[in-house]
């Protein structure tokens, strides 16, 4: 981390909104970093943090083994904002009484603001906030000032008399708190005195210099997948080390229509990178024959990819480093083995995905960035817009969108349907408005009538979601006429399909991908 950079430290007590807090801070061009509750005040002091945010969390402050922070944080002399559980922890450490609430609050509620200085500067006397708590501050000492209340929470926001601790019993970081962004801005700019000068251009230049110093004259390998993370990683590494970068693209036979050609055109023909294309489609499909279990598919594809990558890497001289497109959410979500309190949502293929016996030193230039920030880096580096803003695509490719057995005939059906779907979403001007759109081939047949004859053919399911963080998502409200065009084209143009359905489930309980 650049010691000159303004940093807001976020202490994460297991909040489902921990990453969202970090993103909100960065939206105001202030760099944020998430830390575990056991981080020592001395560590943050050495980093020169401008402020600290204590996140919410599912625990009660009085529960056995409830997570605590270093009390010395409150002696650092930097502003601290406690959110929900973070407010309760801060108030408890500073002497207030915390009790279970007589009336728990979950959801939107009205906040009455009594003090409009600093944290609530510029806000109206009444505003809506998003509550989610069981405990709350029961009694304040004379060292605190109550700033706001709700109908069932008499102390919904506080300021310590020293002016260095602020607590709110609601979530200012979520969109359900309409004026929450103003509160965050007030904390960052007016209370922490941040200048908001963190820019992607600074990040790119810092990263380039750091990679050059670390790599020296050695070769760096990068596995290209066609997705935005690996693409931006490759572009950033190429800018740093030029011809020392060697990209490996494994064609596993599970790609979207024309994906291989697009990767070659962009990276070999346009950026003039050293690109090795490994054709292993037959091997992948042979290993997947007869396999229907989703997890087994993933294991087979992962193992086969490693073998293909290892074989090609062995032909490249002086290769000492392996670049991966690990993102900050990947690091956080896969971090439970390091004591992370947040749920271990999934094992990411980018975090420890390639085995240690490959013998390479990892280079992860994007590991401090969120997805939207990676896209900004891609734009800055001049990657094509279609690639930078491409919707997420799973590591196992179409294998987890072909439900049931994977074979070439079923893949061909899905490829054509998927291509029509994306083409129509783009034509309707919706591609940048929705977060992810995909087609799924179901392992069933249904009766239809085509050309005055009875048919019994495949079903294509369409899935499109809107989300900010991919942890929760709602189905996209695609206009019915657009859905109609998509269904008509797929049924008319893709042989073997006689029915198209639209998935209107949210996440949770459903996931975005079907497998």
330 pLDDT exceeds 80?
no
Point out the residues that are catalytic: 84, 171, 173
**Token output for 123:** 């806000």
**Mean pLDDT of the 451-466 span:** 88
**Mean pLDDT of the 163-178 span:** 91
Tell me if residue 431 falls in helix, strand or coil: coil
Nearest CA to 13 among 90, 66, 81?
Answer: 66
**Mean pLDDT of the 222-226 span:** 87
Q: Among the residues of 227-323, which ranges form H helices?
A: 228-241, 259-263, 281-288, 294-313
List the single range of 43-52, 93-102, 263-272, 287-296 with lowest mean pLDDT. 93-102
E strand or H helix at 363, and its extent?
strand 361-363
441 — pLDDT class (breaks 50, 70, 90): very high
E strand or H helix at 373, and its extent?
helix 371-380
448 — pLDDT class (breaks 50, 70, 90): confident
List the single range of 145-149, 384-388, 459-463, 470-474 with lowest mean pLDDT. 470-474
353 — pLDDT class (breaks 50, 70, 90): low
**Token output for 19:** 């990453």
CB burial readout 207-231, b (16+ within 10 A) else e: bbeebeeebeeebbbbbbbbbbbbb
The pLDDT score that the predictor gives to residue 101 is: 61
**Mean pLDDT of the 253-280 span:** 93
Q: How far apart, in whole angstroms, are the C-alpha atoms of residue 229 and residue 214?
A: 21
Residue written as token pair 């036979």: 253
Q: Among the residues of 114-268, which ranges form H helices?
A: 180-185, 200-215, 228-241, 259-263
pLDDT in tens, 32-60: 989 999 999 999 999 999 999 999 888 88
Q: How far apart, in whole angstroms, are the C-alpha atoms of residue 405 and residue 394?
A: 17
**Mean pLDDT of the 391-398 span:** 90
**Mean pLDDT of the 173-190 span:** 93
C-beta separation of 401 from 440 below 8 A: yes
**Chain-wide mean pLDDT for the chain?**
88
pLDDT in tens, 200-222: 888 899 899 999 999 999 999 99
The pLDDT score that the predictor gives to residue 333 is: 55
**Count of C-beta atoms within a 10 Å radius of residue 331:** 18
pTM for the whole structure: 0.75
351 — pLDDT class (breaks 50, 70, 90): very low
Q: 50 CB contacts (<8 Å, ≥6 apart)?
A: 6, 7, 8, 30, 78, 79, 192, 193, 194
Pick the residue with more confidence: 380 or 107? 380
């Amino acid at each position: 981390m650049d010691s000159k950079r303004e940093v807001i430290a976020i202490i994460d007590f297991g909040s489902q909104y921990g990453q969202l807090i970090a993103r909100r801070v960065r939206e105001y061009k202030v760099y944020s970093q998430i830390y575990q509750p056991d981080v020592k005040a001395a560590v943050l002091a050495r980093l020169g943090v401008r402020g600290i945010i204590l996140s919410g969390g599912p625990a009660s402050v009085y529960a056995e083994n409830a997570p605590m922070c270093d009390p010395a944080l409150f002696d650092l002399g930097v502003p601290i904002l406690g959110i929900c559980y973070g407010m309760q922890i801060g108030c408890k450490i500073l002497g207030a009484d915390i009790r279970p609430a007589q009336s728990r609050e979950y959801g939107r509620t009205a906040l009455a603001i009594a003090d409009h200085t600093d944290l609530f500067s510029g806000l109206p006397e009444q505003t809506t906030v998003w509550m989610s708590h069981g405990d709350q501050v029961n009694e304040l000492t004379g060292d605190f000032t109550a700033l706001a209340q709700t109908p069932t929470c008499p102390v919904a926001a506080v300021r310590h008399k020293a002016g260095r601790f602020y607590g709110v019993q609601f979530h200012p970081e979520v969109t359900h708190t309409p004026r929450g962004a103003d509160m965050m801005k007030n904390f960052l700019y007016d209370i922490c005195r941040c200048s908001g000068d963190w820019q992607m251009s600074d990040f790119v230049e810092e990263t380039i210099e750091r990679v050059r110093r670390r790599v020296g004259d050695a070769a760096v390998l990068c596995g290209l997948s066609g997705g935005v993370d690996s693409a931006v990683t490759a572009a950033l590494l190429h800018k740093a080390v030029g011809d020392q970068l060697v990209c490996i693209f494994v064609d596993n036979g599970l790609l979207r229509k024309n994906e291989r050609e697009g990767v070659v055109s962009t990276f070999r023909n346009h950026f003039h990178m050293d690109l090795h294309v490994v054709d292993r489609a037959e091997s992948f499909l042979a290993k997947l024959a007869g396999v229907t279990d989703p997890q087994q598919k993933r294991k087979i594809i992962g193992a086969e990819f490693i073998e293909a990558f290892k074989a090609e890497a062995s032909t490249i001289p002086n290769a000492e480093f392996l670049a991966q497109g690990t993102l900050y959410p990947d690091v956080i979500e896969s971090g439970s083995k390091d004591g992370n309190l947040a749920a271990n949502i999934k094992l990411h293929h980018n975090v420890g995905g390639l085995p240690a016996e490959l013998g390479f030193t990892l280079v992860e230039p994007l590991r401090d960035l969120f997805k939207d920030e990676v896209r900004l880096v891609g734009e800055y580096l001049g990657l094509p817009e279609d690639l930078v803003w491409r919707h997420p695509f799973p590591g196992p490719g179409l294998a987890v969108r072909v439900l049931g057995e994977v074979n070439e005939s079923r893949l061909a059906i899905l490829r054509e349907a998927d291509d029509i779907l994306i083409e129509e979403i783009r034509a309707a001007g919706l591609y940048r408005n929705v977060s992810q759109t995909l087609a799924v081939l179901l392992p069933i047949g249904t009766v239809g009538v085509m050309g005055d004859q009875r048919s019994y053919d495949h079903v294509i399911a369409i899935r499109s979601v809107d989300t900010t963080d991919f942890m929760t998502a709602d189905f996209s409200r695609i206009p019915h006429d657009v859905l109609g065009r998509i269904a008509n084209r797929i049924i008319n143009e893709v042989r073997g399909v006689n029915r198209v359905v639209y998935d209107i489930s949210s996440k949770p309980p459903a996931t975005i991908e079907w497998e």
